[in-house]
């Protein structure tokens, strides 16, 4: 079955979406990712959607859901590299993804995750594990 | 087809006495109240009239007849009239002044027909009718072409305005600014949004400042457009600052109940730029005077 690979990079999970998302694939990704976070105890998830050209309301909602789920599992989500057309579409659909952090590219996204991680460490001493 | 059209003598008459007709017509046009000597030279008018008569005779003598000016035989005439109308629309003629070019041909033509068909009133009446119908059609056609010419001008200006109104400037490495001037509507917001987002992708800028000093009024719709733009930019991972909010506009926004709480707003572009520099961890200091 078709799957989107999830790479582990240190404390973070890296997901690069390089194919057109269809609903089944999105649901599989959701399953794999929550599973992955729980298994690897990742602190953050970085989703690179720079090759994603088409979104619909379902994919938009799924991005929001993944962020919410990761937060429940104590991991931050950063969505990076959204194309202008995709951003406009999502806003027009009324999905401004309030809970999702965003960055222009993977590099900035990584920095954002590290900052967020450092903040959390200070906050609840999670770094001791 | 009506048989009388086939034996119409109009083309033959005009062809035979073209110079007379042209002279009369020109006199008519020059005497008319709608003559615009300030916009057009007499020689130009003479040239146009001469050319039109030539084409008119050629078109009239064709098989397709004189009742239907959309027929292929009239194509040259139509083209010529369109170009004349369009040129006049650009020169600043009014629609009636443009249409007079055709309508002023009626009187000289009728005079000519009366002279030629003196002994045959029936024939004269028939021919008159044909000629009137034809010239009316041509006159309306010029007016239509005139209108089209005007519309073209308007459309082009709209396009130019749209292009003029959305410059995205790079203020600093990683800082973009978009000075908005004029009223925002949906179409413009769309263009603004697209060009700004595109520029963000190109430059990788983390902060964009929208300056609305030049926006005369902000209503709920404009505010909504602004919020949409901000939301789209946030989705792409860039921050947004709205600057240039005048006191009256601030009052309007609050009275309208628009929620700008999630957006950073500053009163001047300078303030916004200072914030942007701070974000980028840059400091501006006064240079020491080494004099």
Closest by Cβ to B194, choosing from A80, A84, A109: A84
Q: Is B287 within the bounds of a domain?
A: no
The number of folded domains in chain B is: 2
> Which residues in chain B are contacts of A109 at CB distance < 8 A?
237
Residues of chain A contacting B197 with CB distance shorter than 8 Å? 84, 87-88
Q: How many interface pairs between A and B have CB atoms less than 8 angstroms apart?
A: 55
Q: Are B140 and B214 within one domain?
A: no
Location of structure tokens 């292929």:
B72
CB B265 within 8 A of CB B223: no
Which pLDDT value is given to residue A124?
A: 64
Q: Under an 8 A CB cutoff, do A102 and B193 touch?
A: no
3-state secondary structure of A7: strand
Domain end call among B136, B160, B184: B160
pLDDT of residue B3: 45
What is the per-residue pLDDT for B64? 63
Half-sphere exposure of B71 (CA within 13 A, CB side): 13
pLDDT score at A1: 66
* B155 and B179, same domain (yes or no): no
Is residue A111 helix, strand or coil?
Answer: helix
Cβ-Cβ contacts under 8 Å, A87 against chain B: 197, 232-233, 235-236
Amino acid B91: pLDDT = 83
Residues B15 and B127 in one domain: yes
Across the interface, which of B194, B204, B233 has its CB nearest the CB of A105?
B204
B207 and B261 co-located in one domain: yes
Question: Do B24 and B148 sit in the same domain of this protein?
Answer: yes
* pLDDT band with cut points at 50, 70 and 90 for residue A120: confident
Give the chain B residue whose CA is nearest to the CA of A64: B235
Interface test with A, best of B225, B237, B279 (most A CBs within 10 A): B237
pLDDT digits (tens, 9 = 90+) for A60-114: 888 889 889 988 888 889 999 999 989 988 988 888 888 788 999 899 899 988 8
Residue numbers of B between 224 and 283 with CB closer than 8 Å to A: 228, 231-238
Q: Which residues contact A108 (CB under 8 A, 6 or more apart)?
A: A80, B206, B237
- Supply B67's token pair: 């009742």
Report the residue from A81, A87, A102 with minimal CB separation from B197: A87
Task: Assess contact for B81 and B138: CB atoms under 8 A.
Answer: yes
Within 10 Å of residue B233's Cβ, how many Cβ atoms?
A: 26
Residue of B nearest to A83 (CA): B236
CB contact A29 to B (< 8 Å) = no
Task: Say whether pLDDT at A10 is over 80.
Answer: yes
For residues B236 and A127, the model is more confident at: B236
Same domain, B156 and B187: no
Range of the domain at B245: 169-279
B252 within domain boundaries: yes
- Residue numbers in B near A104 (CB within 8 A): 200-201, 204, 206, 236-238
Contact B71, B65 (CB under 8 A): yes
- Mean per-residue pLDDT, A23-51: 90
How far is the C-alpha of B40 from the C-alpha of B14, rounded, in Å? Answer: 26
Contact B194 A88 (CB under 8 A): yes
Residues B129 and B247 in one domain: no
Residue B193 belongs to a domain? yes
Indicate the residue of B198, B204, B228 with minimum beta-carbon distance to A84.
B198
| Domain match, B7 and B145 both | yes
- B-contacting residues of A 67-86, CB under 8 Å? 79-84, 86
Are residues B71 and B209 both part of a single domain? no
Indicate whether B208 and B100 sit together in one domain.
Answer: no
| Cβ neighbours around B39 below 10 Å, total | 12
Q: Domain boundary at B97, B128, B160, which?
A: B160
How far does chain A reach from its first CA to its final CA, in angstroms? 36
Residues B243-260 as b or e (16 or more Cβ within 10 Å = b): bbbeeebeebbeeeebeb
Min distance A55 CA to chain B CA atoms (Å)? 13
Q: Looking at residue B205, which CATH number applies to its domain?
A: 3.30.750.24
The pLDDT score that the predictor gives to residue B51 is 87
Q: Does A115 contact chain B (CB < 8 Å)?
A: no
pTM strictly above 0.80: no
- Please list the ranges in chain B whose pLDDT falls under 50: 1-6
A53-64 pLDDT, tens digit each: 888 889 888 888
pLDDT at residue A7, rounded to an integer: 92
Q: If you count them, how many residues does chain B have? A: 291
pLDDT of residue B273: 92
Instruction: Identify whether residues B150 and B192 lie together within a single domain.
Output: no
Residue B77 pLDDT: 86
- Give the domain ranges of chain A: 6-128
Domain boundary among B160, B188, B219: B160
What's the whole-number mean pLDDT along residues A2-8?
A: 88
Q: What percent of chain A has pLDDT over 70?
A: 94
Nearest to A104 among B194, B232, B238 (CB): B238
- Kindly report the CATH number assigned to the domain that includes residue B90: 1.10.490
CATH of A6-128, one of 3.40.50.970, 3.40.50.300, 3.30.70.260, 3.30.750.24: 3.30.750.24
What strand order describes the sheet that includes A44-48?
A6-9, A12-16, A44-48, A76-80, A101-103
Q: Are residues B138 and B41 in the same domain?
A: yes
């Amino acid at each position: 079955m078709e799957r989107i690979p999830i790479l582990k990079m240190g404390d973070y999970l890296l997901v690069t979406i390089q194919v057109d998302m269809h609903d089944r694939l999105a649901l599989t990704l959701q399953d794999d990712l929550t599973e992955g976070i729980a298994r690897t105890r990742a602190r953050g998830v970085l989703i690179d959607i720079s090759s994603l050209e088409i979104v619909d309301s379902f994919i938009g909602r799924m991005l929001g859901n993944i962020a919410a789920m990761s937060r429940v599992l104590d991991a931050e989500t950063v969505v990076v590299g959204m194309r202008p057309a995709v951003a406009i579409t999502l806003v027009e659909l009324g999905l401004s993804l309030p809970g999702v952090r965003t960055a222009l590219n993977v590099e900035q996204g990584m920095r954002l995750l590290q900052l967020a991680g450092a903040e959390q460490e200070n906050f609840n001493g999670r770094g001791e594990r | 087809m009506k048989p009388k059209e086939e034996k119409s003598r109009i083309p033959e008459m005009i062809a035979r006495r073209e110079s007379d007709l042209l002279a009369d017509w020109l006199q008519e046009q020059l005497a008319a109240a709608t003559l615009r000597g300030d916009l057009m030279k007499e020689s130009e008018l003479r040239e146009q009239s001469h050319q039109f008569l030539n084409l008119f005779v050629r078109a009239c003598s064709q098989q397709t007849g004189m009742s239907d000016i959309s027929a292929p035989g009239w194509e040259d005439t139509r083209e010529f009239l369109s170009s004349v109308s369009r040129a006049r629309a650009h020169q600043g003629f009014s629609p009636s002044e443009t249409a007079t070019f055709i309508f002023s041909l009626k009187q000289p033509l009728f005079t000519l027909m009366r002279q030629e068909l003196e002994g045959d009133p029936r024939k004269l009446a028939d021919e008159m009718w044909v000629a009137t119908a034809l010239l009316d059609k041509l006159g309306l056609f010029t007016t239509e072409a005139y209108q089209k010419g005007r519309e073209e001008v308007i459309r082009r200006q709209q396009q130019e305005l749209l292009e003029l109104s959305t410059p995205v400037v790079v203020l600093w490495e990683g800082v973009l600014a978009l000075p908005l001037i004029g009223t925002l509507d949906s179409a413009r917001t769309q263009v603004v949004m697209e060009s700004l987002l595109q520029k963000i992708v190109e430059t990788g800028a983390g902060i964009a400042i929208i300056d609305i000093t030049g926006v005369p009024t902000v209503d709920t719709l404009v505010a909504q457009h602004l919020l949409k733009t901000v939301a789209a930019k946030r989705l792409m991972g860039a921050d947004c600052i709205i600057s240039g909010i005048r006191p009256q506009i601030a009052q309007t926004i609050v009275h309208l109940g628009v929620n700008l709480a999630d957006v950073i707003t500053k009163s001047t572009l300078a303030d916004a730029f200072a914030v942007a520099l701070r974000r980028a961890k840059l400091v501006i200091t006064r240079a020491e005077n080494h004099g």
